[in-house]
Structure 1
Amino acid sequence: MILIADDLMTEDELRFLRGLYAELPVQQGADTAEGDLKQVKNNRQLLPGGRGKEIRARIMEALNRKEYLSFALQPKVVSAPLLNVYGPGETYGDHTDAHLGWSNDRFFRCDISCTIFLDDPDSYDGGELCIRSDHGDARFKLAAGSAIFYPTYFVHRVQPVTRGERRACILWMESLVRDAQKRWLLFELQKVRSWIEEREPVASLPRQSLVNVCENLHRMWVDP
C-alpha cells in the first residue's frame, strides 16, 4: 500500500527544517552507505548533531496530528529522521532499503519507508521518487510538506536532479502489523468501522459484529 499524506507539515515546521540546511554540516551520502549502495547513492546528508531530538520531535508532532496515519501504518517504532539534499547531477539509483534500522539503542525491522518533501516541485527539475512494481514505475514529486509512505520491500530510486535543489526528510517505521496487505485490510476495515460507529447504536448487531471482526483480526496479526 502506497499512502500519500498531503500537507503533513505546517509552514512553520517547513521553515524550521529548511533552516537547518544553512546551519548543519553535510556529508556525502555515499559515505553513509554500505556495499552496493555506495555505487548508487549520490546525494548529501545533514549531520544532525545536537539538533537530532528537536528534529525528531517536530516530525513526530506532525505524524501524530494525522489520526488516519496511525490506523494505516500501525507504527511501533519510528526511526530518527534524516535530512538529505540533491543538487544538479545528484541521484540515488535503484536500491532496496535495509531490512533493519537502529533506534533507541535497539534494532528494529524496517516495514515502511517515508519521504517528506520539503521544496515546492516547481523549484527544481528531476528528483522524482520512482517506486518499482509489477505494473511499472510509479513516480512521485509531491508538494512541499507532503509525505509518501510505502512498503520498504519496494525497489525505488530518486531521479537525477537537473535544476535547483531537492530537499527531503526520510525515515523508516516498524509496524505492529508486519504484512503490508494485512495493514491495508485493517485500514479499510477501520474506515468502515468509523462510518458504522457514527450511524449505528452501540447495541446494534452490525456494529457489534464489525467490532468483533476488527478486534480479532488485530489480535491475530499484531506483533506488539
Structure 2
Amino acid sequence: MIAMRAGITMAALLLATISVRPAAACSMMRGYKVPTNLELAATADTIVIAQVDGEQKGEDAFGGVVLATPVTLLKGAVLPPRIEIDGAHLSDSPDMVFRNDPRELRRPNPGALIGGCVRYIFPTDARLLLFLKRDDAGKLVPYRSSFSRDAEDVTGPDALWAKAVREYVAIAALPKPKQRKAMEARVAALNATGDVDDAAIAADLKVELSHRRLPPFD
C-alpha cells in the first residue's frame, strides 16, 4: 500500500485500510510521469463515454471486472460493443465511492490515490469517460495509468470533461510541431466566447502549454 499524501479525506484513509493483494498495490518506477490530458488523448486508440451496467465479482478487492456499455464515441472509428475494466468492482457505499468534481480538469478522482493507484471502485450507476488502447491481441481495453484521469465520471457528451477531451483529441491529431500554436489559438478563441465551460477549458489548455504535470503522489 502506498503512503498516503496529506490532504486525502478521512474516507480515503479508511478505505486504504481494506485488505488487498500485495501484487495489486502499485509501485512507481523511478522517473514515472503522470500523463497529461493531451498525452491521454494522444495515447488512446479510442475514447468513449460508457455506462456501467454490471460486474463479475472476484475473490478480493482487485479480482473483479466492471462491465460497461459505450454510449458515445469521442475518438475512434467504431463504438466498441462492451468494455471490461479489470481489477475493479462496484459499490454504493459512500465510504468507498468517490464522485469526482465535475469542474475539475486536471486532478484525478480521489479513488486513484489509494490501493492500486488507479480508480478501481465505481458506483453502480457510473457513467465514465474511458480511454481505450488495443492490447497484444488487438482487443480494446481501458488504458490505466497511475494517478491519471483515465476513468472520470461524466453526465454525458456535454459535460465539461467530455468537452475538454474533445479539444485534446483534435489537438493530438495534429503533427506535434503544430500542436502548441493550435492550443494557443484555442485558448484565445475559447476565452472570447464568454462561456464558463470554454473559459475553464482555456485555463486547462494554458496548464498544458506550461508543461506542468501532476507529480506522483507519495
| Same fold by TM-score greater than 0.5 | no
Structure with max Cα Rg: 1
The structure with more strand, counted as a fraction of residues: 1
Structure with the largest fraction of helix:
1
TM-score by length of 1: 0.28
Give TM-score scaled by structure 2 length: 0.29
